[in-house]
Amino acid sequence: MKRILILLLFTLPQLANAQTTAQKLEKAYQILVKDEQAKYAITSLCVLDAKTGKVIFANNENIGLATASTLKTITSATAFYTLGKDFRYETKLSYTGNITADGTLQGDIIITGTGDPSLGSWRYEQTKENNILNQLATAIKAAGIKKIEGSVISDDSIFGTSTIPTGWIWQDIGNYYGAGAGSICWRENQFDVHLKPGSNIGSEAEILKTVPQTPYIKLVNELKTGASGSGDNAYGFLAPYTNIGYLRGTWGMGIKKSGISLSLPDAAFDAAYRLQDTLKRLSIACSNAPSSSRLLALENKQISSEQKPLLSIFSPTLSELVYWFQKKSINLYGEQLLKTIAFKQGKESSTRNGAKAVIDFWGGKGIDKNALNMIDGSGLSPGNRITTMAMASILFQAQKEEWFADYLKSFPEYNGMSIKSGNINDVTAYAGYYTAKNGNKYVAVININNYSGSGISRKLFQVLDALK
């Protein structure tokens, strides 16, 4: 009897606290769903006890909703499970043909990619564009090559030619956040366009320059000058593999930004172009224009399989890649990881196969596959449908793994919580972890689709504040 009394003394306060937390969540949640902004919306919330996995409070937790970028939490976790936290991409430099006694390469320089999203990225010291180009050029010079009777060719064949996931919208894919995924990425598959507003509202906004210069891309300027304070409403419209793009929308008077970033229509070609240009500056001339395996295939040509290695460049570890993937919500990284997961399983490295591999993986861990309707790996597609219960369950399971510390480190900090945000048209969601002052730990996923107006994040946080 004494033992029972002691046990009750310890457990009753905990039960009371759990009930209080659940009641606080329900009260805050009901305020949200009755808000005018949520009148025509679907709202879902799932909060789990992070230690036991038991549901603290849930509503509409089994309704599939568009996730926006909270889907990145699932892609990241799956990559950690299937690739390993120390996984690195390898990019190879080689040459075909022979090098003559006078240093003439009678063949081509080949860059072979395996999907590294960080090649040429400014986020890591070892991947910066100049560092990569210097390494490649140094390896070519070290081989005694002084002249190339051929060109620099990017072998972008591993991931195929379909760079854009089904379901991405036209307004997104020409801009940096809608950059396509391929075997060879370069500078995160984007370039900058510097802009200047006109002197009057409605007058033409001016394109000052592109950074870096992209002379092989023609930009048709249809931008107009917006009113002071209207800011950036400029969008690029560039299809994959095109060399013509359109700038549309408005660029506000008095804006402080220098310009916008667009997606590279063909990152593999751009990588070959930049290396060949670097070699030219070093007086190592190429007789032919830069190219890629895709472009050669259009001419019924292919890269010689007989290649001699020059250099291998390795990406940062998966832990480092996921850090920026989630912190800065880089859609490109999600699409590269999804294709890589499929490729490492011996399947065609398509978005569809990658998504299926993710769904099958979590199905094997007890999550209903029907709760995971994935279209892409980043959440940019409005066609994704994931339940908050499925997402919360994945976050819960991830805590048990030895790589969890690296995973958790990648979550942004919002509202005093380690939580990933997601925003696309009329969709706002948050998914992550929270440790209360009393030591209680929670997994929380909240999502609202089809709300009206702006400022909804503050109201979602007011629901999550019930955990504090």
Residues 289 and 342 in one domain: no
Residue 151 located in a structural domain? yes
Residue 10 located in a structural domain? no
User: Tell me, what's the pLDDT at 7?
Assistant: 47
Phi and psi for 54 in degrees, rounded to 5? -70, 145
Residues 215 and 193 in one domain: yes
User: Tell me, what's the pLDDT at 8?
Assistant: 47
Residue 78 located in a structural domain? yes
Residue 102 located in a structural domain? yes
Residue 361 located in a structural domain? yes
Residues 344 and 446 in one domain: yes
Which segments in the chain show pLDDT lower than 50?
A: 5, 7-9, 11-12, 15
**CA 210 to CA 197: how far, in whole Å?**
16
Residues 341 and 432 in one domain: yes
Residues 257 and 187 in one domain: yes
Residues 289 and 425 in one domain: no
Residues 271 and 218 in one domain: no
pLDDT in tens, 200-217: 999 999 999 999 999 999
Give the CATH number for residue 130: 3.50.80.20
Which of 299, 318, 337 is the endpoint of a domain? 318
Residue 15 located in a structural domain? no
Which of 253, 283, 318 is the endpoint of a domain? 318
Residues 413 and 323 in one domain: yes
Residue 227 located in a structural domain? yes
Residues 297 and 281 in one domain: yes
Residue 133, domain extent: 90-161+266-318
Residues 175 and 130 in one domain: no
Quick one: how far is CA 306 from the chain centroid? Answer: 34
User: Tell me, what's the pLDDT at 13?
Assistant: 52
pTM, to two decimals: 0.93
pLDDT in tens, 47-74: 999 999 999 999 999 999 999 999 999 9
- Other CB atoms within 10 Å distance of the CB of residue 190: 20
Residues 341 and 458 in one domain: yes
Residue 233 located in a structural domain? yes
Q: How many domains does the chain have?
A: 3
Please give the structure tokens belonging to residue 99. 């090098």
Residues 388 and 350 in one domain: yes
Which of 274, 302, 318 is the endpoint of a domain? 318
CA end-to-end distance (rounded Å), the chain: 35
